[in-house]
Amino acid sequence: MNILFLDQSGKLGGAQLCLLDIVKLYHDRSLVCLLADGSFRELLEQHQIPVQVLTTESIQVRKESTFLQGLSSLKQLLPLIGCVARLSRDYDLIYANTQKALVIGAIASFLSRRPLVYHLHDIVSPEHFSAINRRLIITLANRFASLVIANSEASQKAFSDAGGRVELTEVVYNGFTPESYSHHQAEALQLRQTLQLDRQFVVGHFSRLSPWKGQHVLIEALKHCSEDVTALLVGDALFGEQAYVQQLHDQVAELGLENRIRFMGFRSDIPQLMTACDLVAHTSTAPEPFGRVIVEAMLCSRPVVAAQEGGAVELVHHDKTGWLCPPNDPQRLAEIIMNCRNHPQQANAIAQQAQQEASQRFHLEAINQQIAQLLAAIVH
């Protein structure tokens, strides 16, 4: 099966990491087309996956775009649609991995008569998309997609609630290679020593710095924790959210937490850093479509607390494989952090149970087999 993959981003996020794992199966029979250049292109090339950047211009459509803003982007989109339609004639199907990729891939699939698969990595709701963008996603998926792969039941339900045809959808969770997240204890110990965290209870937060990812909630929670609780904020602003980064620094200064909050920036040693943490916190204030960092923490045998909304609820069984906390509730988050700090044996037992369950439930081999069967059913 030959597949033309489309993705809007040149930057690395959860959707791109998920796509990379899928593309590896078809690396000799595929082409990945990107609508922007960046680190994602470099990572694909490192894995010897054919990749082509279709444009060097930023496409002026955002999740919050209005109808008029959408119309203004048509001049940019039309040449890209024509290019993808021509390219797709050499492939069996078009695989759109993001919203902008869906817009281009849907029309291109109509022109080239190639089936379209849309991998939905988002919660299609007012918290995440403007009304015009929600209507565009639903209309194009309903009209042109042969299959919509939703990355969680929460994503599937939001798609259906917004008017999407539920019979088009299949829920497929992200896949992981458990071995990549184990055996990092020595490196984690070295990291704690280097960062001078030997006597600290370390809470890690792994996400791009963005208001809805809720780093401010964790910072507020630390105000209610004992002095030995330190937080590592791993990640940086990706989509023009520098004002939020400044807001976080101001919040830390205002609360007098400069010695207990570390801004780590973008890091490539995520398993090692996670293993160095005593607890990993997920604090999204809007429903999370899936929550890769939650599973990654589990695979690192780290206790995890997650916001009780969206796909996160499907990943964590409260008090059994982690803890669920109401979104935007720093007081309750602080209570969970302190409970974990004060009962390390219980926290470790929960982390071990989570590691065993996640290793089976989200194993990449089984996930990729599920996707391969779905794609084969469309082409044949």
Q: What is the pLDDT of residues 308-345, one digit of tens each?
A: 999 999 999 999 999 999 999 999 999 999 999 999 99
Phi-psi region of 310 (alpha: psi -120 to 50; beta: other; left: phi over 0): left
Number of Cβ within a 10 Å radius of residue 58: 10
CB burial readout 61-95, b (16+ within 10 A) else e = bbeebeeeebeebeeebeebbebbbebbeebbbbb
- Structural domains of the chain, with CATH: 3-175+363-379 (3.40.50.2000), 178-361 (3.40.50.2000)
Q: What are the helix (H) ranges across 47-167? A: 67-72, 74-88, 99-112, 131-144, 153-161
The share of the chain scoring above pLDDT 90, in percent, equals 86
Phi-psi region of 265 (alpha: psi -120 to 50; beta: other; left: phi over 0): left
Confidence of residue 67 (pLDDT cuts 50, 70, 90): very low
pLDDT of residue 198 exceeding 90: no
Q: How far apart are CA 19 and CA 40, in angstroms?
A: 10
Residue 52 parent element (H or E): strand 51-53
- What's the pTM? 0.91
Specify the length of the chain in residues.
380
> 9 and 40 in contact (C-beta within 8 Å)?
yes
Mean pLDDT throughout 203-230? 97
The closest alpha carbon to 262, from 204, 223, 220, belongs to 204
The burial class, CB within 10 Å (0-12 / 13-18 / 19+), for 110 is middle
Give how far Cα 287 sits from Cα of 18, 63, 197, 290, 301, Å: 19, 15, 32, 9, 24
Structure tokens given for 322: 């982690």
Confidence of residue 59 (pLDDT cuts 50, 70, 90): low
Give how far Cα 5 sits from Cα of 31, 38, 95, Å: 6, 17, 5
> 270 and 289 in contact (C-beta within 8 Å)?
no
Q: How far apart are CA 109 and CA 228, in angstroms?
A: 56
> 31 and 7 in contact (C-beta within 8 Å)?
no
pLDDT of residue 68 exceeding 50: no
pLDDT of residue 301 exceeding 90: yes
| Helix 215-222, helix 242-255: angle, nearest 10 | 0
Q: Using the 8-state DSSP alphabet, how is residue 264 labeled?
A: E
Q: How far apart are CA 29 and CA 49, in angstroms?
A: 9
Mean pLDDT throughout 7-21? 91
More confident residue, 237 or 172: 172
User: Could you report the per-residue pLDDT of 267-285, keeping only the tens digit for each?
Assistant: 989 999 999 999 999 999 9
Work out whether strand 3-7 and strand 116-120 pair parallel, antiparallel, or are unpaired.
unpaired
Q: Which long-range contacts (CB under 8 A, 24 or more apart) does 251-257 make?
A: 251/216, 251/219, 251/220, 252/219, 255/219, 255/220, 255/222, 255/223, 257/219, 257/222, 257/223
- pLDDT (0 to 100) of residue 27: 85
More confident residue, 158 or 63: 158
Confidence of residue 101 (pLDDT cuts 50, 70, 90): very high
Confidence of residue 58 (pLDDT cuts 50, 70, 90): low
pLDDT of residue 306 exceeding 90: yes
- pLDDT (0 to 100) of residue 302: 97
Number of Cβ within a 10 Å radius of residue 237: 16
Mean pLDDT throughout 95-118? 96
Which of helix, strand or coil describes residue 109?
Answer: helix
The burial class, CB within 10 Å (0-12 / 13-18 / 19+), for 8 is buried
